[in-house]
Amino acid sequence: MMKTLQVALDERSYPIYIGDNLLSQPDLLTQHIRGKEVLIVTNETVAPLYLQKVLDRLTAYRCEAVVLPDGEEFKNLTVLNQIFDKTLSSQFSRSVTLIALGGGVIGDMTGFAAACYQRGVPFIQIPTTLLSQVDSSVGGKTAVNHALGKNMIGAFYQPQCVIADTSTLNTLDDRQLSSGLAEVIKYGLINDMEFFVWLEQNMSALRNRDQTVLAEAIERSCRDKADIVAQDEREQGVRALLNLGHTFGHAIETGMGYGTVLHGEGVAIGMVMAAELSFSMGWIAESDCTRIKEILVAAGLPISPPKELTTEQFMSLMSVDKKVQNGKIRLILLKAIGQAVISDDYSADKLAELWA
Amino acid sequence: MMKTLQVALDERSYPIYIGDNLLSQPDLLTQHIRGKEVLIVTNETVAPLYLQKVLDRLTAYRCEAVVLPDGEEFKNLTVLNQIFDKTLSSQFSRSVTLIALGGGVIGDMTGFAAACYQRGVPFIQIPTTLLSQVDSSVGGKTAVNHALGKNMIGAFYQPQCVIADTSTLNTLDDRQLSSGLAEVIKYGLINDMEFFVWLEQNMSALRNRDQTVLAEAIERSCRDKADIVAQDEREQGVRALLNLGHTFGHAIETGMGYGTVLHGEGVAIGMVMAAELSFSMGWIAESDCTRIKEILVAAGLPISPPKELTTEQFMSLMSVDKKVQNGKIRLILLKAIGQAVISDDYSADKLAELWA
d(CA B189, CA B334): 8
| Cβ-contact A137, A17 below 8 angstroms | no
CATH code: domain of residue B180: 1.20.1090.10
Nearest CA in chain A to B318: A91
pLDDT category, B291, cuts 50, 70, 90? very high
Residue B290: what pLDDT? 98
| Cβ-contact B63, B127 below 8 angstroms | no
State the Cα angle at A189 between A187 and A193, rounded to 5°.
95
State the Cα angle at A167 between A162 and A171, rounded to 5°.
110
Write the secondary structure of A110-147 as one string of H (helix), E (strand) and C (coil): HHHHHHHECCCCCEEEEECCHHHHHHHCCCCEEEEEEC
Domain boundary, last residue among A171, A195, A226: A171
Mean pLDDT of A27-33: 96
Domain count within chain B: 2
pLDDT category, A329, cuts 50, 70, 90? confident
- How many CB pairs below 8 Å do chains A and B form together? 100
Domain that holds residue A195: 174-355
Burial class (CB in 10 A: 0-12, 13-18, 19+), B287: exposed
Tell how many helices (H) and how many strands (E) occur in chain B.
12, 13
Co-location of B240 and B124 in the same domain: no
B348 SS3 class: helix
pLDDT category, A295, cuts 50, 70, 90? very high
- CB A324 to CB B89 under 8 A? no
B132 SS3 class: helix
For chain A, what percentages of helix, strand and coil (3-state, to nearest 5) are there?
A: 50, 20, 30
Co-location of B215 and B343 in the same domain: yes
Residue B137: what pLDDT? 83
Co-location of A233 and A287 in the same domain: yes
Co-location of B205 and B306 in the same domain: yes
| Cβ-contact B38, B92 below 8 angstroms | no
Q: Is the pLDDT of residue B85 over 80?
A: yes
| Cβ-contact A328, A344 below 8 angstroms | yes
pLDDT digit string, tens, across residues B110-130: 999 999 999 999 999 999 999
Mean pLDDT of A220-226: 95
Residue B354: what pLDDT? 82
Co-location of B288 and B195 in the same domain: yes
d(CA A8, CA A6): 6
Q: What is the ipTM of this complex?
A: 0.91
Co-location of B163 and B309 in the same domain: no
pLDDT category, A35, cuts 50, 70, 90? very high
Distance from CA of B34 to the nearest CA of A (A): 12
pLDDT digit string, tens, across residues A89-141: 999 999 999 999 999 999 999 999 999 999 999 999 999 999 999 998 889 99
Mutate to test the interface with A, among B88, B116, B156, B315 (most CBs of A within 10 A): B116
Co-location of B57 and B155 in the same domain: yes
Element (H, E) at A280: helix A263-280
Domain boundary, last residue among B149, B171, B193: B171
Co-location of B289 and B196 in the same domain: yes
Element (H, E) at B84: helix B77-89
Q: Is B91 on the interface with A (CB under 8 A)?
A: yes
CATH code: domain of residue B26: 3.40.50.1970
Co-location of B216 and B308 in the same domain: yes
- CB B148 to CB A89 under 8 A? yes
More confident residue, A79 or A345: A79
Co-location of A182 and A309 in the same domain: yes
Residue A33: what pLDDT? 97
pTM across the whole model: 0.92
pLDDT digit string, tens, across residues B215-248: 999 999 999 999 999 999 998 899 999 999 999 9
Domain boundary, last residue among A102, A137, A171: A171
Residue B43: what pLDDT? 98
Q: What is the mean pLDDT of chain B?
A: 94
Co-location of B338 and B262 in the same domain: yes
Residue type at A129 in one-letter notation: T
| Cβ-contact A60, A115 below 8 angstroms | no
Residue B79: what pLDDT? 97
Which of B114, B134, B138, B122 is CA-nearest to residue B30?
Answer: B122
The mean-pLDDT minimum among A57-66, A318-327, B312-321 falls in A318-327
| Cβ-contact A87, A65 below 8 angstroms | no
Co-location of A84 and A160 in the same domain: yes
Residue B170: what pLDDT? 94
